[in-house]
Amino acid sequence: MFVTGGLKSLLPHVLRRIIRCNRLSISNTSGMAEGYKQANVVILHKSLADDFEKFCHANAGPLPLLCRSKPGDWKCPSLSGDSDIRTDCLQYRIYEHGACTGTLKSLKEYSEQLKDMVTFYLGCSFSFEKAVQNAGIPVRNVEQKCNVSMYKTAVPCYGVSTFCCNLVVTMRPIPESKLEAAVLATSELKEAHGAPIHVGDPGLLGIQDLSKPDYGDPVHLHPGDIPVFWACGVTGVEAVINCRAPLAFTHSPGCMFITDLKNDNVTVRSSREVPQVHCVSQDPLHYSIVSAEAAQKIKNLETLIGIDPGDRGIIHLHRQDELLKACLSISHARSVLITTGFPTHFTYEPPEENDGPPGALAIAAILQALEKEVAIVTDQRAMDLNKKIIEEAVQLGILKRPVPLLSYQKENADSALTFLCENGNPGRPRFDHLVAIERAGMAADGNYYNARKVNIKHLVDPIDELFLAAQTIPGVATTGVGDGGNELGMGKVKDAVKKHIKNGDVIACDVEADFTIVAGVSNWGGYAIACALYILSTCEIHDRYLRKAVGFPQISKKMGWLSALPSVTKEEKLLKTLVRHGVRSGKTASLEMEVDGLPFYDTHSVMIEKLL
């Protein structure tokens, strides 16, 4: 019997011959024939073959199709010179009407049935192990001399006819410092599943316990390792089970068909093709992936909005890459709650300023276009005003449909939790992300102050409590957008506010958000979020990561997203609407076409054009 020692350096045709003779004392092919492609195998009746091929193309991440045989053809010249699919896998499984009825070392006894069957050879992540090692990254399952861990997820594949199932993934522990290198090493190896589809907490995929894989062996994480998940060809096995074919065969998970094809050499890539990894949440731990090109575009937006036209010292509040991280987090969200409203003009009715609502509606518009749930929460006394503004925004074409409008009042200690979660259960949040834009924020003394140090607490509902409660709910993130330091969410930079902003020692908001976006005018921050979400949605690398490499790219919806972005025309009409409703400029209380004392024309209009 051969042992595993020298198998990694043997050529594929030698390995297949050894496997054919049943002379190996191993349970999987991980680490064998380094640098050569390995394949998952699915064998189905020819009547099912066309639908299964469509299923593969619709879910190319888990099921990259290397070859489809003709009925009864157990050789595969395009993948290997001398192979016989009946004998050249370490072990096979037989499925009858969706049930696994046994394992086999050879399919020769089924040669007659195989004459009417088609073999599908599908890419395998074992193929990229050498590339990962070459990047200086440990492959833990090879180190631990065991099969890779494979898990069923809660992620549905794109169904075709009788073929439907949830995605199956492999998990490889990767040291945190090597995450980006692992993504880079695998992203171009499309026939070996390409880049990871999830980095971080397995619970976000519906995996409850890493120590109990559905297929393969448990692989132990070292201190500092992060679980990284790739789409897996065993998804094809799950599809076979669910289609309940009278007879089907697959490889046993981990027992791959080894081809004569070498892995592709990765060529020099443009910034559009180079992936970056960013942590967007610590609880649960979650990383996102985006192209270097898209990330740079969003950083440019952050620089644009960071100018200080009022010369208030906001440059000292700026935190790098907060726009990128906030928008990556929002792009993963299913449901977003937005709040705005700063009643700085306490002697007027309404007391609201016109910085905030336009930015909030710009965010809401792109979220609607991206088919996310979105709602707005505001002060009870301002409900009628905001309802009218939203209705007119729909008429102006800014919003596709009205945004649900909510108010929040504290009735007991659990009010915030009850508002944010179904039945107050932190395991069932109604919203994944909260965004405050130019929203009055509570200071350290419990009061709310405008820039002139006037306490306006009597006009402000305690929406801050929702942001404080969100800090206790796993999976709910928060973003604050502001331009002076007294806005909700600016607690993250309160020390800088106290040091550099006029009256900062009194007015600084004490409530933190996970992400703090500082802009010269808060509306600009809202416009930048909308533009950044559009950039992320049109980034192929990020789109693939969002949809977990199943289904089809969403880029066909690009025109709908584009039409949802703010424009000079739309924002001009909206500002006129606000003026008509008596909503004033923040700095001057003027009812002219200005925001924060800056004219719409030649200042705000130019910023919108630059952002677009």
Q: What is the mean pLDDT of residues 174-196?
A: 94
Structure tokens at 330: 């929002």
CATH for the stretch 275-611:
3.90.1640.20
Q: What is the tens place of the pLDDT at every residue in 38-63?
A: 899 999 999 999 999 999 999 999 99
Q: Is the dihedral of CA 496, 500, 502, 505 positive or negative?
A: positive
Structure tokens at 169: 């993934």
- Positions of CATH 3.30.2040.10 in the chain: 8-271
Band the pLDDT of 24: cuts 50, 70, 90.
low
Report the percentage of the chain scoring pLDDT > 90: 80
Model confidence at 192: pLDDT above 90: no
Question: CB neighbours of 394 closer than 8 A, spacing ≥ 6?
Answer: 400, 401, 402
Band the pLDDT of 7: cuts 50, 70, 90.
low
Give the residue among 108, 107, 115, 112 at the shortest CA–CA distance from 71: 115
Model confidence at 314: pLDDT above 80: yes
Host H or E run for residue 294: helix 292-305
Give the chain's mean pLDDT. 93
Checking DSSP bridges between strand 117-123 and strand 65-68, what pairing results, if any? antiparallel
Q: What is the mean pLDDT of residues 221-240?
A: 96
Q: What is the mean pLDDT of residues 582-598?
A: 93
Q: What is the tens place of the pLDDT at every residue in 462-479?
A: 999 999 999 999 999 999
How many angstroms separate the CA atoms of 366 and 355, rounded? 19
Give the residue among 185, 225, 174, 229 at the shortest CA–CA distance from 62: 229
Question: CB neighbours of 6 closer than 8 A, spacing ≥ 6?
Answer: none
Model confidence at 1: pLDDT above 60: no
Q: What is the tens place of the pLDDT at every residue in 118-148?
A: 999 999 887 788 889 999 999 999 899 888 9
Band the pLDDT of 83: cuts 50, 70, 90.
confident
CA angle 333, 336, 339 (to 5 degrees): 150
Band the pLDDT of 267: cuts 50, 70, 90.
low
Band the pLDDT of 485: cuts 50, 70, 90.
very high
Structure tokens at 318: 């700026």
Model confidence at 513: pLDDT above 80: yes
Q: What is the mean pLDDT of residues 417-430?
A: 95
Model confidence at 272: pLDDT above 90: no
Q: What is the tens place of the pLDDT at every residue in 398-411?
A: 999 999 999 999 99
How many angstroms separate the CA atoms of 488 and 514, rounded? 12
Torsion of CA 13, 14, 19, 20, to 10 degrees: 70
pLDDT the model gives residue 248 = 97
The fold of 8-271 is PSTPO5379-like fold (3.30.2040)
Query: Across-strand partners of 171?
Result: 149, 229
Model confidence at 6: pLDDT above 90: no
Band the pLDDT of 298: cuts 50, 70, 90.
very high
Model confidence at 8: pLDDT above 80: no
Model confidence at 378: pLDDT above 50: yes
Name the pTM for this structure. 0.93
Amino acid at position 71, single letter: P
Measured distance between the N- and C-terminal CA atoms of the chain, rounded to whole angstroms: 66
Query: Across-strand partners of 487?
Result: 440
CA angle 591, 459, 404 (to 5 degrees): 80
- Positions of CATH 3.90.1640.20 in the chain: 275-611
Q: Which of 68-77, 400-409, 480-489, 508-517 has the lowest mean pLDDT?
A: 68-77
pLDDT the model gives residue 38 = 87
How many angstroms separate the CA atoms of 38 and 125, rounded? 8
